[in-house]
Structure 1
Amino acid sequence: MTKPVIDQTLQSLDIRSRDIFRLIVDTYLREGEPLGSRNLSRMLPHSLSPATVRNVMSDLEHLGLVYAPHISAGRLPTQRGLRLFIDAFMEIGDLSDDERRVIDAQVKASASGATLEQMLTEASQMLSGLSRGAGLVLANKSDAALKHIEFIQLEPTKALAVMVSQNGDVENRVVDLPAGVTTSQLHEASNYLNAHIRGRTLVEAKLEIARLREETKAALDTLSQDLVEKGLAVWAGTESDLPARLIVRGRANLLENVTAQADIEMLRHLFEDLETKDGLMQLLDLAEEGSGVRIFIGSENRLFSLSGSSLVVAPFRDKDARVVGALGVIGPTRLNYARIVPMVDYTAQLISRMLR
């Protein structure tokens, strides 16, 4: 919902309508249940009859902010209503000192002697535990600075390419060897690569080797030169193909209190979405578009639109202030946004500091 639309909608709501709307949304976020006119009239700070409350609820429904799940039921907020509530009414809380200490301790403890993968896994687990949703972390592997690449011959036409990042991650890939490659040529190619890639990302290393192509031809024989190019190509394809790691913890939290078949079906869609790599880089793009936390409700995020889930996500950055990943919490639309937003924001800032 854009700001002009929000402003226009707010102008159409008087104080009485705003109070009733807030109570409907607050009750939904707290209990997940529709709020009826009789109960609502008792909760209002000013006296209104149930009939008057029903008229206001009807006006809110006409504006597309609430709906009745079935005849004679109370009202629940629509996706549009939740967006209005978050953008115009919600008061973002702050983390308590205890919550900050828990996050600091867990992230810093996991970073001590651990790989980046392990640290991010712990962050995902921690967000899940604190939010009672699923903790999600997405990191672009291509942005890790490289430390070392080595070729180990497995058979005459196969070798294991071992890549070590400066953050401690190790990856192995099997590469095809040109006919006639010797052990000394494998060492020669490894040494040449390591002389030029250390401290660079995969993308930067690939560009550097391409820039030095003429120098490479002079320094290496044809087979060794071919190995140098294969050693990067096995990881660094086109930018859209760069591998990313997705870490999700706490899926079981999403199953709590789910009984309706429709909700189970929505969760099935969500779990399927989390299993596929298609479109995951959208999360990095979405997070990068804003400087801080972003909230996506239901179909606002195409990646999880079928499941109708909400996503609270924030980017984390490397020492050069580049966005290299995103972390957040995914769950039903009745997430405790006011509590989760500062939690996600603080964790993303902490991870960014750890990567500097």
Structure 2
Amino acid sequence: MTLNTLFDIPPLNTKLKSACQALIDNKTKPLGALGLLEPLALQLALILTRSENHKIELGIPQLVIFAGDHGIAAEGVSIAPSEVTGQMVANFSNGGAAINALCQTLGWQLSVVDCGILVKPELDLNVISQRLGTSTNAFHRKPAMERATLERGFDLANALINNMLEKGTNIFAFGEMGIGNTTSASAIFSAISLLSPKETVGKGTGVSDEIVMKKQALIADALSLHHKQLDTPIGVLQHLGGYEIVQMVASMLTVAKAQKVIVVDGFIATAAALIATQLAPNAKDYMVFAHCSGEQGHQKMLEYLEVTPLLNLGLRLGEGTGAALALPLLQSAAAFYNDMASFTDANVTEVNG
């Protein structure tokens, strides 16, 4: 597979927009009374239906956690050592993490992918191996990875998601695990938005002010070192990204190319979405932004993308937790679109003027 084959994303079928919007407006409610559920229902209808008379069907919701270690973590940019990535992958596999509880409660199928972590999972753990190495390079000294490594990550993720698509999944969420990956996400955002690291770096999972300043300095060094290679989204991803971020980008593009729904999680997942939309602007039409996290860079990234998240719960965990929590909202949007009566059907006097 060449990278360019994933960048040709079809636009939404806007020919249906007026009819689907009219169907929503004619439900037994005042115009706009269901708030953000209304544009969400319209988006789902445009992605998943071929006629305004077709119901929205959400098939086999799949949440995939991509895990990868970052060389920059050795510089002390996190409250936890890199070994925690592998430990949490084992926790995911054993069903003990927050995301396991949420997926079990809400109805997501959960898959865990080792994209390249320091400690390789034990053979008896139910983890999908798509390893690109044991860790990226420390990006303030050299590119995070080779171009060939990035392309291999795209191939692996594309094959994985296509397999899930063939089984009937039409709604995907992507979570991540990787000590140091908020530093990578901040660097990606700075490179694309041209905002300074002071504007894109926050406290992550709760680091000290001293560590925040260290992260800012390391990112500034990386931006200076690689500035000639940061003029394309792929250049940014190769030089500043992570193995898990690479596979999230490719996965999002694969889902968008298949014209299915992408539920975007927090800061790191939104950094992947930012790269994906830079590579293929139409990909954004297939993305539902689940929540705004407590990370300042995430708030600014959502503003940069000009999108409105569904939730704002102060989450800063990752793992796909915010995306998981959005599923009942998608199901509710589909339910009112599919099942709510119109004024005519219910013999109710129309209140929309």
Compute the TM-score of the two structures, normalised by the length of structure 2: 0.26
By percentage of residues, which structure has more strand? Answer: 1
Compute the TM-score of the two structures, normalised by the length of structure 1: 0.26
Higher relative contact order (CA 8 A, sep 6+): 2
